[in-house]
Amino acid sequence: MPRERTGTELLRPDPDGIARAVERLQRGGLVAFPTETVYGLGADAADAVAVAGIYAAKGRPRFNPLIAHLPGLDAARLQGRLDETALRLAERFWPGPLTLVVPVAATCTVCDLARAGLDSVALRVPAHPLAEALLSSFGGPIVAPSANRSGHVSPTEAAHVLADLGGRIGAVLDGGSTRVGLESTIVACFDDEPRLLRPGGIARESLEAVLGQPLSGDADTADRPRAPGQLLSHYAPGAAVRLDADRIRPGEAVLLFGAARPAGLETAGMVLNLSPEGDLAEAAARLFAALRRLDQTNPEAIAVAPIPFEGLGEAINDRLRRAAADR
């Protein structure tokens, strides 16, 4: 990979790379960085001009608020008011792929634009050594949506970021492939009534085990104005996506899971298996890169074999359903 592509600097995953990333952020620049879920496009959360640059680079609708990333729970509590339920989830799952939407704190420094004018704020403490080093060294919250053009598949490698945003952002901190591969699970915590706004890297079952009660809300009933990332056509590759395919049509690219072999597979173009062993965590980690690779072959369509709904399957099916939606 080139060190630089049309003006976007590729930063190495070492102390010098982190120092350069911090310097750029302090000057109001945009820096993409790896988290355990997907790459984020970071800016100083307190700098409205820098935040406006995120929306411009992504071509993102203004009303879609951003997640503030923090180095730990203490830093998070300066930004938002965590009720007992939120605290319990934070203590169990941070650092990790969980975002909590909570009422904004009086000491919050996340600018209005990043919160889309809401009186709530989305907080997340990522579990990735580079993200942690960047956040600790930067000092304040860094807002970061996934580092892709709005509506595209989220990036799980630095090369994906460059393909979408090369030349439009200052730098990418290269941390290789991300471990989880799906965005964080988002839970809104108001008045000790937690609601699932977006399924993601932590399975609903794991959250419910800690809460001791079922979580209200699912991908279909999630409150759209509150989680605009749930806009239906999202995470979309260029090719049409066809779900639950049990018969492949000629010229289709195919995404398999486990041992199932749909009829007509011999007429397919490229075939990828998210996890031959049927492991949903492995499938989640590979999903977005696989969609990108299949899309690059310019297939008639991308046919996707059925994937179970349990555990991380809920989030995988959520992303696939959005990729398949009319646009």
Residues that bind ligand TXA (CB under 6 A): 35, 37-38, 40, 64-67, 97, 99, 101, 115, 118, 120-122, 124, 144-146, 183-184, 186, 197-198, 226-230
Q: Environment class of residue 1 by beta-carbon count within 10 Å: exposed (0-12), middle (13-18) or buried (19+)?
A: exposed
* Alpha-helix residue ranges (DSSP H) falling in 9-155: 15-26, 48-58, 73-79, 84-93, 129-138
Dihedral sign for Cα atoms in the order 234, 111, 96, 24: positive
Q: Least Å distance between CB 115 and ligand TXA?
A: 6
Q: Taking CB within 5 to 8 Å according to partner kind, which of ligand TXA, Mg ion, none is near residue 90?
A: none
Q: How many residues does the chain have?
A: 327
Nearer to Mg ion, 20 or 149 (CB): 149
Binding site for Mg ion (CB under 5 A): 146
Give the Cβ contact number of residue 92 at 10 Å.
15
Q: Are 130 and 18 a contacting pair, CB within 8 Å?
A: yes
Q: Are 29 and 41 a contacting pair, CB within 8 Å?
A: no
Q: Taking CB within 5 to 8 Å according to partner kind, which of ligand TXA, Mg ion, none is near residue 67?
A: ligand TXA
Nearer to ligand TXA, 8 or 120 (CB): 120
Q: Least Å distance between CB 54 and Mg ion?
A: 11
Nearer to ligand TXA, 144 or 294 (CB): 144
Nearer to Mg ion, 268 or 323 (CB): 323
Is the backbone peptide bond immediately before 95 cis, with ω within 30 degrees of 0? yes
Nearer to Mg ion, 146 or 230 (CB): 146
Q: Least Å distance between CB 154 and Mg ion?
A: 5
Query: What residue number has its CB nearest to ligand TXA?
Result: 229
Q: Least Å distance between CB 44 and ligand TXA?
A: 15
Contacts of 272 (CB under 8 A, 6+ apart): 253, 254, 255, 256, 286, 290, 293, 294
